[in-house]
């Protein structure tokens, strides 16, 4: 064909296409989207049109093997139908990133619990047996049981309840009782003592001390970890939403590529029929074959994109890396929902400033800084502690309350000396031995006899309780450490204020971008719909011209590719709108409310 003939044909084609655009109906209505299913193999499924193209008659001699679009490791027989809400629910239950930050909250809960344990009362008991024996002196056997209950109070005070008991026995005196040197009584002495000791800070550590500071900070850090958990959950939900809509687009793109490929196969049959009839040169077939190969490559790339996005979605909603769901293809059941009503910028900004967890975390950091500032300011004061103690004591001896009879000389040294003197006196005539007379001690008061029970009872009749009260004063000269810590906390407060202002600006930018992106996506949908409708009309007109022999395969392929691109642009605009909506929910932290999700706070401030 000469150049003049080509220009003439192009002119006639354009005129005919314009005439047909006003009379033909669109090939595919906007609301008649096909069901989203992965394509396993390309089959000869003609596109639905109001005026279908008649099939060519006669043998074309063309037999091409269908593309094998089966994906390794994915079974097409048992697809996983999945709505967006189901995908979000699975992510909340199984997403490993959410599980990690959820465990961070649980760890901080236990940290708060551990710090509270500092205020748990502590009971201690110390039973002790002690034997003291020194050559030339009396041996003693002591048995004591000391017990106490101590506790740190939230006022900074600490107290100790104590109960001490002892039994002291002279081994020599016990031997005298056993040998009859002492005719009655017991050498065991019992004593009991119980009371309370209390220390209360009056200046430093009165309003806040190290333990109360740590507990308050741990509570704020628990709230921060809860805010981090909620923020990460929102991020994950937004990522699930974006990936879900990407998969919707990828499957629709795959279907559009398949439909475009089937159009090329049909064109190939028409060209072969024309060649067989002598109406077209054999070279025309090569042009169609080239376009067919290009569209097969496009379909393979679209299939690979489906696999990639599907794997990304599974990684977000599945817990295990080897679960059975990995071998199932995912079929989204939701279609893009479009709300053409504009979003008010002021309302979106207001929601973000009230809900964003990044801002809440920084405000909690300011609370922590204020706790530090109060603590370090308190540490600059001198330490004045009030100390007090009160106790009652009881005393008793073992055995009955009878008179005690004993020799005048009782110790080993005295008896040995007496025996030596009497031995010397015996060698001198006329000297009598010095006697060791017995002495009787009258019975003591009845309330001092009776062992441990009497000792304990005597504590309640004590008319002279023990008590003490005093003050401990200490302060470091200069106290530079506390002053430096206080100055540091003041600087950190200014730094946190700057960080909060910076984060607020970041939030404002994200919200503005999200609202503006949503508005642009809404307009893109309207434009893409018009473009797709016009592309359908143009293709229908071009096909009629081609069937009438008044157009070329090159122009027909251009119209087919234009329609495929227009359809993809429309679904891309629709999915981008839903992704922009998810981004807006994320930017304003309204994801939970928009998706009917209730996250229970684990925080217990008791």
Give per-residue pLDDT as tens, 111-123: 999 999 999 999 9
For residue 92, which of 244, 224, 238 has the smallest C-alpha distance?
238
**Mean pLDDT along residues 48-76:** 56
According to the model, what pLDDT value does residue 216 have?
Answer: 95
Distance CA 533, CA 538 (A): 9
Close Cβ partners of 548 (under 8 Å, ≥ 6 residues apart): none
User: In the predicted model, is pLDDT for residue 44 greater than 50?
Assistant: no
For residue 83, which of 230, 238, 255, 240 has the smallest C-alpha distance?
240
Whole-prediction pTM value? 0.74
User: In the predicted model, is pLDDT for residue 410 greater than 80?
Assistant: no
**Mean pLDDT along residues 5-23:** 37
**pLDDT higher at 68 or 387:** 387
Least confident of 210-214, 241-245, 299-303, 450-454: 450-454
* Rounded (5°) CA angle 204-210-215: 135
Identify the helix (H) or strand (E) that includes residue 510: helix 480-547
- Among 56-65, 337-346, 418-427, the range of highest mean pLDDT: 337-346
According to the model, what pLDDT value does residue 7 have?
Answer: 37
Q: How sure is the predictor about 462, in pLDDT bands with cuts at 50, 70 and 90?
A: low
Distance CA 286, CA 268 (A): 9
Q: How sure is the predictor about 330, in pLDDT bands with cuts at 50, 70 and 90?
A: very high
The percentage of the chain sitting over the pLDDT mark of 70, rounded to a whole number, equals 81
According to the model, what pLDDT value does residue 446 have?
Answer: 62
And the tokens for 362?
């920084």
R_g (Cα) of the chain, nearest Å: 49
The percentage of the chain sitting over the pLDDT mark of 90, rounded to a whole number, equals 51
Residue 519 near residue 343 (C-beta atoms within 8 A): yes
Instruction: Count the helix, strand and coil residues of the chain and give each as a percent rounded to the nearest 5.
Output: 55, 15, 25
Least confident of 4-18, 70-84, 592-606: 4-18
According to the model, what pLDDT value does residue 63 have?
Answer: 52
Distance CA 468, CA 37 (A): 87
According to the model, what pLDDT value does residue 208 have?
Answer: 94
And the tokens for 321?
């890396």
**Mean pLDDT along residues 556-577:** 89
Q: How sure is the predictor about 42, in pLDDT bands with cuts at 50, 70 and 90?
A: very low
Measure Cα distances from 69 to 66, 104, 303 in Å.
9, 43, 7
Q: How sure is the predictor about 592, in pLDDT bands with cuts at 50, 70 and 90?
A: very high
According to the model, what pLDDT value does residue 384 have?
Answer: 95
**Mean pLDDT along residues 352-372:** 96
For residue 375, which of 276, 476, 485 has the smallest C-alpha distance?
485
- Residue identified by tokens 């709230």 is 223
pLDDT tens digits, residue range 471-510? Answer: 999 988 989 999 999 999 999 999 999 999 999 999 999 9
According to the model, what pLDDT value does residue 204 have?
Answer: 93
Handedness of CA 293, 294, 296, 300 (dihedral sign): positive
Tally the residues of the chain: 606
Distance CA 556, CA 287 (A): 12
For residue 522, which of 369, 340, 350 has the smallest C-alpha distance?
340
- Among 143-147, 416-420, 457-461, the range of highest mean pLDDT: 143-147
SS3 50: coil
Distance CA 549, CA 545 (A): 6
Least confident of 249-258, 269-278, 346-355: 269-278
User: In the predicted model, is pLDDT for residue 516 greater than 80?
Assistant: yes
Would you give the DSSP letter of residue 491?
A: H
According to the model, what pLDDT value does residue 434 have?
Answer: 83
User: In the predicted model, is pLDDT for residue 36 greater than 80?
Assistant: no
For residue 421, which of 434, 402, 408 has the smallest C-alpha distance?
434
Distance CA 299, CA 260 (A): 9
According to the model, what pLDDT value does residue 273 have?
Answer: 87
**Mean pLDDT along residues 284-295:** 88
pLDDT tens digits, residue range 433-448? Answer: 888 888 876 666 666 6
Residue 405 near residue 183 (C-beta atoms within 8 A): yes
Q: How sure is the predictor about 543, in pLDDT bands with cuts at 50, 70 and 90?
A: confident
**Mean pLDDT along residues 131-145:** 73
**Mean pLDDT along residues 262-283:** 85
**Mean pLDDT along residues 245-256:** 93
CATH node for 40-108+213-372+483-594: 1.20.1600.10
User: In the predicted model, is pLDDT for residue 66 greater than 90?
Assistant: no
Pairing type for strands 328-332 and 75-82 reads parallel
- How many CB atoms within 10 Å of residue 106? 13
User: In the predicted model, is pLDDT for residue 400 greater than 80?
Assistant: no
């Amino acid at each position: 064909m000469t150049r003049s003939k080509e220009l003439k044909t192009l002119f006639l084609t354009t005129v005919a296409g314009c005439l047909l655009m006003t009379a033909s109906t669109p090939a595919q209505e906007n609301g008649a989207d096909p069901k989203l299913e992965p394509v396993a193999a390309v089959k000869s499924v003609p596109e639905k049109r109001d005026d279908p193209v008649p099939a060519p008659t006669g043998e074309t001699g063309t037999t091409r093997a269908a593309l094998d679009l089966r994906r390794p490791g994915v079974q097409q027989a048992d697809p996983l139908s999945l709505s967006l809400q189901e995908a979000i629910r699975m992510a909340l239950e199984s997403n490993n990133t959410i599980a990690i930050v959820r465990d961070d909250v649980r760890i901080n809960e236990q940290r708060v619990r551990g710090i509270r344990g500092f205020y748990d009362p502590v009971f201690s008991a110390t039973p002790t047996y002690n034997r003291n024996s020194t050559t030339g002196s009396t041996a003693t056997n002591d048995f004591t049981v000391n017990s106490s209950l101590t506790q740190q109070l939230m006022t900074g005070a600490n107290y100790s309840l104590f109960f001490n008991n002892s039994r002291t026995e002279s081994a020599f005196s016990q031997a005298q009782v056993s040998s009859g040197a002492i005719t009655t009584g017991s050498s065991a002495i019992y004593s009991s003592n119980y009371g309370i000791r209390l220390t209360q800070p009056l200046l430093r550590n009165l309003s806040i001390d190290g333990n109360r500071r740590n507990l308050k900070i741990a509570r704020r850090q628990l709230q921060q970890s809860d805010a981090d958990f909620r923020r990460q959950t929102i991020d994950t939900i937004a990522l699930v939403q974006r990936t879900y809509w990407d998969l919707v687009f990828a499957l629709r793109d795959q279907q559009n590529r398949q439909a475009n490929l089937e159009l090329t196969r049909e064109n190939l049959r028409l060209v072969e029929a024309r060649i067989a009839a002598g109406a077209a040169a054999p070279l025309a077939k090569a042009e169609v074959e080239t376009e067919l190969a290009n569209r097969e490559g496009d379909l393979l790339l679209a299939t690979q994109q489906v696999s990639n996005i599907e794997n990304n979605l599974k990684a977000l909603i599945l817990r295990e890396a080897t679960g059975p769901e990995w071998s199932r293809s995912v079929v989204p059941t939701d279609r893009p929902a479009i709300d053409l009503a504009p979003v008010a910028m002021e309302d979106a900004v207001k929601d973000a400033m009230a809900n964003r967890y990044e801002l809440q975390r920084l405000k909690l950091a300011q609370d922590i800084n204020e706790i530090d500032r109060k603590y370090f300011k308190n540490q600059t004061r001198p330490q004045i502690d009030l100390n007090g103690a009160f106790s009652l004591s009881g005393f008793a001896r073992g055995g009955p309350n009878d008179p005690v009879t004993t020799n005048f000389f009782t110790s080993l040294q005295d008896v040995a000396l007496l025996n030596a003197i009497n031995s010397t006196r015996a060698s001198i005539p006329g000297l009598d031995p010095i006697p060791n007379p017995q002495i009787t001690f009258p019975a003591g008061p009845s309330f001092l006899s009776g062992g441990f029970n009497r000792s304990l009872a005597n504590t309640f009749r004590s008319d002279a309780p023990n008590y003490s009260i005093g003050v401990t004063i200490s302060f470091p000269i200069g106290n530079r450490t506390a002053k430096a810590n206080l100055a540091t906390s003041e600087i950190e407060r200014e730094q946190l204020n700057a960080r909060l202002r910076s984060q607020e600006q970041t939030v404002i930018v994200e919200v503005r971008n999200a609202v503006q992106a949503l508005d642009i996506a809404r307009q893109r949908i309207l434009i893409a719909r018009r473009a797709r409708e016009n592309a359908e009309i143009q293709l229908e007109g071009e096909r009629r011209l081609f069937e009438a022999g008044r157009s070329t395969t090159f122009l027909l392929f251009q119209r087919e590719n234009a329609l495929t691109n227009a359809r993809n642009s429309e679904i891309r605009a629709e999915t981008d709108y839903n992704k922009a909506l998810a981004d807006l929910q994320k930017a304003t932290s309204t994801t939970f409310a928009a998706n009917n999700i209730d996250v229970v706070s684990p925080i217990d401030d008791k």
